[in-house]
Amino acid sequence: AAARFARGGIPAERLRVRPPLLDDPAGSADLPPATDARRGALFVGRLSQEKGVATLLAAWQGMDCRLDIVGDGPLLDSLRCQAPANVHFHGRLSAASVAQAMAKAALLVVPSLCYENFPLVVVEAMARGLPVLASSGGAAADMLGPDGAFAQPGDAADWRRQAARLLGDAAALHRLSLHGRNEYERRYAPDRVMAMALSLYRDVRETGGDDPGGGR
């Protein structure tokens, strides 16, 4: 969104992106392992067209691993009709139940067709050491960084390739787990976000909110 605003004419130096403040679920030493104990893929989100769940269902045709889908929305019934036998729908769950599902899954899949803004499920997975496979482009790509794992939005064949590759490679999953947790600690941990917020307030207080161009 910040990049779009800058291209629209707002001075880039006057734009700051501050993530929301989310509690750290555990110290990295307490996180469940990214391999062995975890199985299958997990989707958490609204079941609507822009979330790209239909792409996942097409990708999971012929896959030999499980996909769990958590969430509700206008496409629930039609998606259930399209789903192969290895896809399981759980509806809307509590935050505690979602955390349990994340602890059991080997991979979070985020196949959004839209850019998103700041998908909370991605940073929640990063905090828990859960590897993420996301659509390329948009906010998730910025959150995960260049060392993240991505597939082309809307391309079921690419999603099948990338998901199968990762789910069959314990070492790759472990690397993604460590990378996600490290990025969370570096950019999204509560102390980092709070320091960023205080810095913004300090800058506004010191400048009085004045625009160098004469406005406010």
Q: How does residue 8 score in pLDDT terms, banded at 50, 70 and 90? A: very high
Q: For 111-165, write each residue's pLDDT tens digit.
A: 999 988 899 999 999 999 999 999 998 889 999 998 999 999 999 999 999 999 9
pLDDT in the model for residue 208: 72
Q: What does the alpha-carbon distance between residue 110 and residue 196 come to, in Å, rounded to a whole number?
A: 27
pLDDT for position 28? 44
Task: Quote the pLDDT of residue 198.
Answer: 94
Please check the confidence at residue 13 and state whether its pLDDT lies above 50: yes
Give the Cα separation of 28 and 56 in Å (integer): 30
pLDDT of residue 166 exceeding 70: yes
Please tell me the least confidently modeled range out of 85-89, 147-151, 203-207. Answer: 203-207
Is pLDDT of 58 > 50? yes
**Confidence band (pLDDT; 50, 70, 90) for 36?**
low
The pLDDT of residue 3 is: 86
pLDDT score for 211: 57
Residue 10 pLDDT > 60: yes
Q: Are strands 107-110 and 132-135 parallel, antiparallel or unpaired?
A: parallel
Mean pLDDT of the chain: 90
Residue 133 · residue 108 · CB < 8 Å: yes
Out of 67-71, 121-125, 176-180, 208-212, least confident range: 208-212
Q: For residue 9, give both structure tokens.
A: 């004419």
